[in-house]
């Protein structure tokens, strides 16, 4: 493959990133937990859903814009929080933020970014949310939440699926090195040594993250910020109800890109369960395995307000920096708009449950 290779879909960026990145970093970005069963199923589950197109609908104008927590975005494709963007490209999260802003969408900045909250905030205007983990040292988490709020971030995303780090065997084999995180300078050392010689990330998380975090702590989070709070990592109707009861302002159905609990369900397979439990009271978003505009269409049909993408953004960044991230976001928007047109849905509100058919429904209809 020569340097002129130009991806025609977002998977092409993964191929480019694989050629360009050191193996340790590529494996960190691409990998999942243990057998990577859920990693594969996040993709396969989308392919088990069929779209039921309607014809002879006027689709001469397609509007894929939507509103999330009152903020208008050009299409329901947002940037998921992902760590360590400077391992993909020197400009790191600043390039990602500029690309997201240029595409009129929301970026969720990771707690584990390599560019600081302040650098990202001053790099361009744009709507941004801030994702957090909760450290045993709660004062540090509270300071970062405050800095995000002071720097114009519009919501806090609490990642709830990481009391400990999932077992990513590629990182263990590669002895993945934990880079220092500038956000925490003067607050805590982000250097870590793995006693077992495995992944430094795992050693760091095990020493720092608060594994005692529970639903009652949402009250603590509410007491330290005025921003809306979204809970990321919900996969069951039981937890969706608990999130509602705790006063969450939104839910992100996520299995952390299959990097935490292997054999957790593919996110698209549990979206409807969560949407039904929430009954429209708060927005439900989804991430995990979204690689095509048709995937976005399926998630919207099953009740998501928007999707977020993780690895495609990182691979776009690794391949072509800010331009690569823009290309990824535009490709998905264009593909989504095409699927809206071909399915007879000029607006997002026209996409309904009846526009998709799950595998089990297909079998029933063939009996
Ligand atoms: C390399 C990498 C780093 C990630 N870092 C974080 C993180 O810091 N915080 C977080 O909440 N989720 C993190 N995630 C999970 C993403 O937010 C998201 O749930 C997942 O990537 C979506 O799946 P996809 O990569 O298939 O799009 C990370 C994912 C990847 C691939
Ligand atoms: C620098 C610590 C990285 C913690 C894990 C980040 C993450 O959520 C992921 O890799 O997934």
- For the question of residue 256 being annotated catalytic, the response is yes
What is the percent of the chain where pLDDT is above 70?
Answer: 96
- Closest CA relative to residue 136, chosen from 190, 220, 201, 210: 210
Query: 133 CA distance to ligand 2 centroid (A)?
Result: 10
Summary mean pLDDT of the chain? 96
Nearest ligand to residue 258 Cα: 1
Q: pLDDT per residue over 227-253, tens digit each? A: 999 999 999 999 999 999 999 999 999
Mutate to test the pocket of ligand 2, among 134, 201, 209 (most ligand atoms within 8 A of CB): 201
Quote the ipTM score: 0.99
Residue nearest to atom 9 of ligand 2 (CA): 83
Who contacts 258 (Cβ-Cβ below 8 Å, separation ≥6)? 32, 33, 36, 38, 39, 41, 42, 264, 288
Does residue 288 sit in helix, strand or coil?
coil
Ligand 2 atom closest to 256 (CA): 11
Listed range (95-99, 106-110, 196-200, 280-284) with the worst mean pLDDT: 196-200
* Rounded average pLDDT over 326-354: 98
Examine the pLDDT at 36 and tell me if it is beyond 60.
yes
Residue 362 has pLDDT above 70, yes or no: no
What pLDDT band is residue 271 in, cutting at 50, 70 and 90?
A: very high
Q: Is 291 within any annotated ligand binding site?
A: yes
Continuous H helices in 185-301: 200-208, 217-224, 237-245, 267-278, 293-301
Residue 35 CB-density burial (10 A; 0-12 exposed, 13-18 middle, 19+ buried): exposed
pLDDT (average), residues 207-224: 97
pLDDT at 254 over 60: yes
> pLDDT tens digits, residue range 113-171?
999 999 999 999 999 999 999 999 999 999 999 999 999 999 999 999 999 999 999 99
The band of 198, judged by pLDDT with boundaries at 50, 70 and 90, is: confident
Please choose from 11, 33, 82 the residue to mutate so as to test ligand 1's pocket, defined by most ligand atoms within 8 A of CB: 82
Identify the architecture of domain 10-365 in CATH: Alpha-Beta Barrel (3.20)
- Answer whether 203 contacts ligand 2 (Cβ < 6 A): no
What spacing in Å lies between the alpha carbon of 274 and ligand 1's midpoint?
Answer: 20
Contacts of residue 172, Cβ cutoff 8 Å, sequence gap at least 6: 198, 199, 202
Would you say residue 351 has pLDDT above 50? yes
pLDDT for 363: 60
pLDDT per residue as tens digits for the range 96-111? 999 999 999 999 999 9
DSSP annotation of 353 reads: G
Distance CA 244, CA 125 (A): 31
Task: Say how many Å lie between the CA of residue 355 and the centre of ligand 2.
Answer: 36
Whole-angstrom distance, CA of residue 252 vs CA of residue 238: 14
What average pLDDT does the segment 272-290 reach?
98
**CA geometry: angle 296, 301, 304, nearest 5 deg:** 70
Q: Which segments of 242-340 are extended strands (E)?
A: 250-253, 284-287, 306-309
Is the pLDDT at 18 greater than 50, yes or no?
A: yes
Average pLDDT estimate for 49-53: 98
- The answer to whether residue 192 scores a pLDDT higher than 90 is no
The mean pLDDT of 264-286, rounded to a whole number, is 98
Q: Would you say residue 195 has pLDDT above 70?
A: no
Nearest ligand to residue 314 Cα: 1
Cα 59 to averaged position of ligand 1 atoms, centre (Å): 35
Q: Tell me how many degrees the CA angle 163-285-295 measures, rounded to the nearest 5.
A: 115
């Amino acid at each position: 493959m020569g340097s002129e290779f130009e991806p025609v879909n977002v998977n092409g960026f993964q191929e480019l990133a694989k050629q360009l990145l050191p193996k340790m970093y590529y494996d960190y970005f691409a990998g999942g937990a243990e057998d990577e069963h859920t990693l594969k199923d996040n993709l396969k589950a989308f392919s088990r859903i069929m779209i039921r197109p309607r014809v002879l609908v006027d689709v001469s104008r397609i509007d894929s814009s939507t509103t999330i927590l009152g903020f208008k975005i050009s299409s329901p494709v947002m940037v998921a929080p992902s760590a360590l963007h400077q391992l993909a490209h020197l400009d790191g999260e600043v390039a990602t933020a500029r690309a997201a802003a240029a595409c009129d969408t929301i970026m969720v900045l990771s707690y584990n970014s390599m560019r600081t909250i302040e650098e990202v905030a001053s790099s361009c205007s744009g709507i941004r949310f801030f994702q957090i983990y909760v450290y045993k040292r709660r004062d540090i988490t509270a300071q970062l939440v405050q800095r995000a709020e002071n720097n114009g971030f519009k919501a806090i995303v609490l990642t709830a699926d990481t009391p400990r780090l999932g077992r990513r065997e590629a990182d263990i084999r590669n002895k993945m090195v934990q880079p220092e995180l500038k956000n925490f300078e003067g607050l805590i050392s982000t250097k870590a040594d793995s006693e077992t010689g495995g992944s430094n990330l795992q050693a760091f998380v095990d020493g720092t993250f608060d594994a005692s975090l529970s639903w009652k702590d949402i009250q603590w989070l509410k007491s330290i910020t005025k921003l809306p709070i979204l809970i990321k990592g919900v996969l069951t109707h039981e937890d969706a109800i608990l999130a509602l009861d705790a006063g969450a302002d939104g839910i992100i159905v996520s299995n952390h890109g299959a990097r935490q609990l292997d054999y957790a369900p593919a996110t698209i397979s549990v979206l409807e369960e969560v949407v039904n439990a929430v009954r429209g009271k708060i927005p439900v978003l989804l991430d995990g395995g979204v690689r095509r505009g048709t995937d976005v269409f399926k998630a919207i049909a099953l009740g998501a307000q928007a999707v977020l993408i993780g690895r495609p953004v990182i691979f776009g960044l690794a391949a072509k920096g800010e331009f690569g991230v823009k290309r990824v976001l535009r490709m998905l928007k264009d593909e989504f708009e095409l699927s809206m047109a071909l399915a007879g849905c000029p607006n997002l509100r026209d996409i309904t449950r009846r526009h998709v058919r799950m595998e089990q429904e297909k079998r029933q209809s063939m009996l």
